[in-house]
Amino acid sequence: MNWTVVEGEWAELTGELKARWARLTDHDVELLDAKRERLVGKIVQRYGVLKDEAEKQVDEWIQKMGGHRAHPEELPSQRP
């Protein structure tokens, strides 16, 4: 999954985002407006980590979400 997909599925992913970063408020998530840099900044602010660490966490989360949210066009064909 890449950030373009995240932007497109933002409404569906906000629950998973809040589960991953519980210190983010509903208001924080609303203000993120599906922007990666805003998410990184809020993680830095709420968790007191360096920007590099926040970016790493976001990248890992995106990869994890890609594995859990496969799109039908990404699945192997069922035809013999």
Right CATH number for 3-70 from 1.10.3720.10, 1.10.1470.10, 3.30.1360.120, 1.10.10.1100?
Answer: 1.10.1470.10
Of the chain, the end-to-end C-alpha distance in Å amounts to: 27
Please state, in angstroms and rounded to a whole number, the distance separating the CA atoms of residues 77 and 60.
27
CA 76 from centre of chain: 24
pLDDT recorded at residue 68: 58
- pLDDT tens for 34-57 read 999 999 999 999 999 999 999 999
pLDDT recorded at residue 24: 96
pLDDT recorded at residue 6: 85
- pLDDT tens for 11-40 read 888 999 999 999 999 999 999 999 999 999
Please state, in angstroms and rounded to a whole number, the distance separating the CA atoms of residues 31 and 65.
21
